[in-house]
Structure 1
Amino acid sequence: MNCSFFKGLVPGLLCSIVLLAACDGGNTKNNPKEKAKVDTLANQPAERQAVSTKTYVDGIISRRKAIAQQLPGISPEAAVKLYNSLALYVDTALAGMSDNETAWLDNYANYYAEEKKKIVPPDSVQRTVDLLATAGIEPWGIGEGYTELRTVPTFYTQLFKNALPADYRSYLQLNADEDTVLYSADAGLGVSFHEVGQRTLNWEQFLETYPNSILAVSARESFERYCEDYLFGQDNTPSFENWQDIASLNQENKDEYLSFVQKHGNTKTAAIVKLFLEKLDTEKSMDRLKQDIRKEIKQAFAERVELLPAQAGFGEAQVNQLTKSVYDTVPTEVANDKVSRALDSLQFFRQDGNTYCLAAFRNEIKDGGAPPSGWVDIWLFKNNNGSWQHVAHELNAGGGGMYGNSGYFNGLVKLGGHSTGIVIVGGITHMGSNVFWDDVLAFSNDRLSSAFSLVTDNSYENGSGTGQCSYNKWQMQPVAGEENYRLVIITGSCMSSNVPLEKTVVPFKNGSYSVPDKLQDRGI
């Protein structure tokens, strides 16, 4: 067979292309029972190596051709493997080609010709743009004079059509529809508030239809982003005339929200919009309004922790008094480096009919250089017939990071019928490595214990850009007949976009969640 275009490919990619297709490709009959042949990158986040733009383009074209030949009669599950394989390669290719073409991408917006009302690049650049177009890749302006390479909106939907499972088809179609216009640029919305509301509703409908999809976590992120933008806008397209004045909601926005509630009154989004309108009359500050609505949005598709407002008679002074006897015994230095401790967060909530207050203290080593790590302490107090009492605490409960950073408390989640999870975020950014993790404590029966730890983001950036990027997103899933919820982890690649690859379900067993070691490796 004639495989001259393989010349110059790195060995791993060469092997992948050979697996996917023969170069003459036209003499092989499709066998519906034959297993899908997938790229060797299909089940692991991609790591980029230096490859020419022409080679990347040829690689995309050959993969699309090979997949098109395999799709007739294939099972939806096998089609997902092909989709993952292609998406991983395309993400790697986009990152590599973007590095290769930086010179003209940085200037692409400057090629705009006023008399022709369009971009008119030099011939040398146009030839590259034409080459990219053969693989379904286009330059896309993202505002403020920046241009990036992306797949055309119909890149995946036209290829896979009805071969993928219903949740994948719906997810890809929603993204394709949205990507026909620039959503946001220059810190402002590029679409109307009405359109943002419709996008929010679309993702709500997806989550209602496919709650257990591997794509649900990403769909929740889209829902949350659009819902917040719908109600508050962005910096340069706010929904309020004055960001500091809670009474200054634009009339056209108010009319839009009232219309939305009337048309979609039984939806989660409408309930949030209605609460937003009600709180305009009861809240005293914009910061408090945003805080309340963001919490409501976060809990729209999660089992709800009953969060409470600040409680009269219990605040920072009382917390400091109740923690003093313990902190008086704790060293104020670590290896001769001074520890700086400060109360970071107070969160009131109700569990099993009792009112609690969580206090999170940051412990930082500000002058310790790179090696020392800070940490977060967690304290729980209980209102017992009007008297607040200390019930549990955990020093060095989680978080941390290099240069003495402490990490931070990131919220509460429901872990079970009688258990609340306390999420602490830690992370490092050092010499190109970016690693972030969640440490989760369980609070139940007035006791604290470790529930699980999980690396959420892991990437490496070399001198020419991101060389590797993976993520683990998680959520809790109630199961009938089980007191404690199951931990659902979605592992994926984030080289250029978001490609979910694997779903891991971890049951509660022997007092905790046994997260696989590979998902806990911080590399430090």
Structure 2
Amino acid sequence: MIKKIIAFCVLSAAVVSCKKEATVSEAKSVKITQTESKEDQYKPIDTACSSTNKTDDYITSLQWYRTKIDKEISENSPEQNDRVYEDYLKVREKYTECLNALHTDILDKYVDYHTGEPDTYNLPANVKKIAAELKKEGLEFRVMGEGFTEIHSLPGYYESVFKNKVSPDYNAYISQMAKDNKENYAINGGLQITWEELGDRLIVWENFINKYPKSPLIKSVTDNYYSYLSDYLLGMDSSQVYNSEERKIFDDIRQEYNRIIKMYPNSKTAKKTKELIAAYDAHIPEDQIGEKINLRR
């Protein structure tokens, strides 16, 4: 009888113990489920700008998207990541537009914070705080010239996210865009990079067009190429290529043209450059030059 009582007590203790463990296990499970549910419940704000949204709202949403795409690109094929890049680019551009609209007061005054030293600004505490928040998500205040400032993605941001994780054409495109965006291209109708840099940039994009003719990026790249080619050969309002008084191409520009022709004789850029030189040397009126050489022909 005593043995039976002892056996019953042991069995009862085991049951109680199991129930306790089950209760603890269930409690942990509920806690984890609640945590996951809380994370799943978060939704980024709409990409349509709203006056009720604050800087933190946009930053938090950008962080959410970055976490999401980091997970996706680690599991995707390069071709799938091409689409991820396209979608992510659109979302970031939308949020950046909203941040620019939100901070017009800072953007209008930003150049006034310049100290007089190159690329040096004495920013108020509130602006420093916002700049630090923007930097967390790869954004910056960028002085565009002529008293104009905008919020932009850092030049190498997309490369840092997608390098070697997309198709070869996208990889080349993203890498070159990072280089192109390191500095302002033009300000108030005036070229900000050197003519030689512009010539080299043309060759890079021409090579892209020749190497990846069926790329989904080809239209964008082609439009970009011809825009650069127009500036290179026809000049800009504040960066002329032709001396009207002396009726000749400026010496330094002709020197650059000769460099491109010599280094890349079989390129379309060189071909159009030769046509331009011939047209100007034949003293064809300036307003007829563009039609004469027909850049896209």
- Give the TM-score normalised by the residue count of structure 1: 0.47
Shift of 1:5: 11
Amino acid at match of 1:250: F
| Structure with higher strand content | 1
Structure with more contact order per residue of length (Cα contacts < 8 Å, sep ≥ 6): 2
Q: How much does 1:239 deviate?
A: 1.4
**Residue matched to 2:122:** 120
Does residue 134 of structure 2 align to residue 132 of structure 1?
yes
Cα distance in 1 for partners of 2:146, 2:172 equals 32
Residue 216 (structure 2) aligns with: 214
Residues 61-72 of structure 1 aligned to structure 2 (within 5 Å): 61-72=63-74
Query: Could you tell me which residue of structure 2 aligns to residue 158 of structure 1?
Result: 160
Paired residue for 1:280?
280
Look up the equivalent residue of 2:296 and give its one-letter code: K
CA distance in 1, matches of 2:43, 2:159: 30
Give the superposition deviation at 1:4.
7.7
- Does the residue aligned with 2:74 lie in a helix, a strand or coil? coil
Larger-Rg structure: 2
132-141 or 77-86: bigger deviation: 77-86
Q: Is the 8 A contact 1:157 1:176 kept in 2?
A: yes
What is the aligned partner in structure 2 of residue 100 from structure 1? 102
- C-alpha deviation, 1:259, in angstroms: 1.7
Q: For the residues of structure 2 that align with 1:149 and 1:128, how far apart are their CA atoms?
A: 11
Amino acid at match of 1:298: R
Residues 120-142 of structure 1, C-alpha deviations (whole Å, 9 max, x = no match): 11111110111111010101111
Secondary structure of 2:150's counterpart equals strand
> How far apart, CA to CA, are the structure 2 residues paired with 1:283 and 1:248?
8
Whichever residue aligns with residue 252 of structure 2, its letter is: E
Q: Distance in 1 between matches of 2:43 and 2:57?
A: 7
Asked whether the 8 Å contact 2:44–2:60 carries over to 1, the reply is no
Q: CA RMSD in A?
A: 2.2
Matched, 1:109 2:111: yes
- 1:244-296: CA deviations, max 9, x gaps? x5823111111111121011001111100011111112243001112223x2x
Question: Paired residue for 2:207, among 192, 205, 208?
Answer: 205
Q: Indicate the residue corresponding to 1:189 in structure 2.
A: 191
**How far apart in 1 are the matches of 2:67 and 2:186?**
34
1: CA distance between counterparts of 2:54 and 2:227?
36
Tell me the distance in 2 between the aligned counterparts of 1:149 and 1:108: 11
Inter-partner Cα distance in structure 2 for 1:206 and 1:116? 35
How far apart, in 2, do the equivalents of 1:211 and 1:263 lie? 23
Gaps of 5+ in 1: 14-45, 300-524
Distance 1:68 1:102 in 2: 31
Segments of structure 2 that go 5 or more residues without pairing to the other structure are 1-34
Alignment partners' CA distance in 2, 1:90 and 1:210: 26
The amino acid across from 2:165 in the alignment is A
CA distance in 1 between counterparts of 2:202 and 2:147 reads 28
User: For the structure 1 residues 90 and 209, does the alpha-carbon distance in structure 2 shift closer, same or farther, using more than 3 Å as the test?
Assistant: same
What is the deviation of 1:224? 0.6
1:123-174 CA-to-partner distances (Å, cap 9, x unmatched) read 1111011111101010111111100111011111111121111111111111
Aligned mates of 2:206, 2:233 — CA distance in 1: 16
Q: TM-score with structure 2 length normalisation?
A: 0.81
Which residue number corresponds to residue 174 of structure 1? 176
1:229 to 228, 231, 236: 231
Q: Distance in 2 between matches of 1:8 and 1:123?
A: 30
Q: Is the 8 A contact 2:247 2:283 kept in 1?
A: no
Counting only pairs closer than 5 Å after superposition, residues 471-486 of structure 1 correspond to structure 2 as none
Q: Structure 1 residues 229, 6: closer, same or farther in 2, change over 3 A?
A: farther
Distance 2:40 2:181 in 1: 32
Letter in 2 for 1:92: K
> Using a 3 Å threshold, how does the CA distance of structure 1 residues 6 and 104 change in structure 2: closer, same or farther?
farther
Q: Deviations over 1:175-216 (max 9, x none)?
A: 110101111012100011111111111111111011111111
Match in the other structure for 1:340: none
One-letter identity of the residue aligned with 1:247: R
CA deviation digits over 1:393-428, x for unaligned, max 9?
xxxxxxxxxxxxxxxxxxxxxxxxxxxxxxxxxxxx
The correspondence of residues 390-429 of structure 1 with structure 2, limited to 5 A, is: none
Name the CA distance, whole Å, in 2 between partners of 1:191 and 1:153.
16
Q: What amino acid is the match of 1:71?
A: I
Partner SS, residue 138 of structure 1: strand
Spell out, residue by residue over 1:449-481, the C-alpha distance to the aligned partner (whole angstroms, 9 max, x if none).
xxxxxxxxxxxxxxxxxxxxxxxxxxxxxxxxx
**Amino acid in the other structure paired with 2:110:** Y
Q: Which secondary structure state, in structure 2, belongs to the residue aligned with residue 113 of structure 1?
A: coil
Measure, in 2, the Cα distance between the counterparts of 1:268 and 1:78: 33
Against the structure 1 CA distance between its residues 212 and 48, is the aligned structure 2 distance closer, same or farther, given a 3 Å change threshold?
farther
Are 1:189 and 1:237, in contact at CA under 8 Å, matched by a contact in 2? yes
Q: Percent identity?
A: 24
Which residue in 1 is equivalent to 2:296?
298
| CA drift at 1:65 | 2.1
Counterpart CA distance in 2 for 1:210 and 1:254 is: 31
Q: CA distance change for structure 1 residues 231 and 101 in 2, over 3 Å: closer, same or farther?
A: same
Query: Structure 2: how far apart are the matches of 1:119 and 1:260?
Result: 39
Q: CA deviation at 1:66?
A: 2.3
Structure 2: distance between partners of 1:241 and 1:120: 42
